[in-house]
Structure 1
């Protein structure tokens, strides 16, 4: 998949010269609703003998419209992950557009002229709630007016599954620790990628050695708590099951930094510096401040058994 970055006003020489069908959206999470849009665009591209292209933005529009600090924004799928999903779904091109003041203030007609027709799109596919400017003007109901019969329009209905399948619903589920509900909406387990770093080795001293995982600030973590997880080492592709905690280690003191720690079962290798991917499978319990370390150890034994029981059940 070829990735092409654009910034307003873009350099026309970088545009793919052939016919494309564009799947349009921000696509945070690339959840089941997004997948439906991209796969519908794939069928449209096949029918129109064009390449499948997906357009997204380099940052969330709220950075401009709501003046949010980009350093504090957390995504379900940061750009690198998002692009990997696009490729897996069959995209041949990905346009990553810089969302800045210049782009934000393009009139709807100008956006369609430059970022659809200007990219040689013979068709577009988008969800019914897609907008390309002010909601009341630049919506899918009005797009034919701006298209002027220059490309085919395919509008995909919103996906419902006990509620709208959307990025907002998935964020809300993760913020409650409901990783199984998030997986239902995503169509795949929610994942966090990070690097194994040195910690305080408290877990090792009490018989539960952990991998301390440093994650990117722009990636949303599930709510603090203890979870059953599966961990894949990206280099070797080996996977192991275990239990993970997100929290502040309050049993060992106050005002400690939030950490992500994973205790893998039947694993004792030294893997500092390695990249791992954590798949969040099931929420087990909230974080608790224990009165003694012995109480913590007793609970960790229960957590381990609950994790073993969970994986035995699903397997």
Structure 2
């Protein structure tokens, strides 16, 4: 897959020499609804013998449209993860448009002329709720009048689960509540975050449960405070374990939130190593214990429960 950055305006070098099928969306998380759009576009590209391209943005549009501080946005899929997922789902060309204030001021007609026609789109595919400006005048129903029959348009209906639309917002809310099981169901794969193993307080090793303290990039969304069954990837290998997202309240108040992963039967030194955490299942909520002994007893039960859940996984 080729990844191309577009710093508006569109440069000739970024324009494909042959027509393409172009899928549109921000695609945070590349969840089941997004996969429906990409899958429909992939099928159309295959039918026509064309490349599949996806157009997305470097930052969430809310950063420009609503003035949300860029540093406060927590993504389901930051750029590296989004690129990885797009390649997995069969995208040939991935365009990241840098969402500048000037780009945000384009009229709907200018956007269509400069970026859809400009990118040599033979077919444009997007979800039913895709917009490219003010919602009432720049939506999928009005796109044909701007397209002026220069490309075909395919609108993909919403993907519904349990009577509700599958959406990035719904997944974010589930993660914030610690419901990684629901989030994974809506994503269609198990949620992952990245990070680096840093030095913590090393208290875990004194009670028989040493942990890798994983510091995630600021832009990644970490599941809410709870204890989870996880897998951790280091040096290209996945290892089973359990993770605590919390403040270690048993050892005092006012502590920062940390991600601490205990790996089963693991004895390597992985300080400073880049890792990836796969959030498999929520084991329980955060608990405060009267003593370290009480914590150790609960950790023993958590390990048993985590191993039993991991044993039941099919992949």
User: TM-score, structure 2 length as denominator?
Assistant: 0.96
2:74 matched residue in structure 1: 74
SS state of the match for residue 119, structure 1? coil
Instruction: Return the offset for 1:69.
Output: 0.4
Instruction: Return the offset for 1:16.
Output: 2.1
Alpha-carbon separation, structure 1, partners of 2:198 and 2:18:
46
SS state of the match for residue 165, structure 2? coil
1:204 matched residue in structure 2: 205
1:262 matched residue in structure 2: 261
Instruction: Return the offset for 1:161.
Output: 1.1
Q: Deviations over 1:18-44 (max 9, x none)?
A: 211101000000001111111111111
Alpha-carbon separation, structure 1, partners of 2:129 and 2:114:
21
Instruction: Return the offset for 1:242.
Output: 1.1
Assess if the C-alpha contact under 8 Å between 2:4 and 2:95 holds in 1: yes
SS state of the match for residue 21, structure 1? strand
Instruction: Return the offset for 1:262.
Output: 0.5
Matched, 1:194 2:195: yes
Alignment of 1:168-183 (within 5 A): 168-183=169-184
SS state of the match for residue 160, structure 2? coil
The answer for unaligned runs of 5 or more in structure 1 is none
Alpha-carbon separation, structure 2, partners of 1:259 and 1:182:
21
Alpha-carbon separation, structure 2, partners of 1:306 and 1:87:
34
Alignment of 1:14-53 (within 5 A): 14-53=14-53
Alpha-carbon separation, structure 1, partners of 2:13 and 2:241:
50
Instruction: Return the offset for 1:180.
Output: 0.9
User: TM-score, structure 1 length as denominator?
Assistant: 0.96
The answer for unaligned runs of 5 or more in structure 2 is none
Q: Deviations over 1:110-160 (max 9, x none)?
A: 000011000111111100010111000100011000000000101111100
SS state of the match for residue 116, structure 1? helix
2:246 matched residue in structure 1: 247
1:104 matched residue in structure 2: 104
Alpha-carbon separation, structure 1, partners of 2:96 and 2:194:
22
Alignment of 1:86-125 (within 5 A): 86-125=86-125
Instruction: Return the offset for 1:203.
Output: 0.2
1:147 matched residue in structure 2: 147
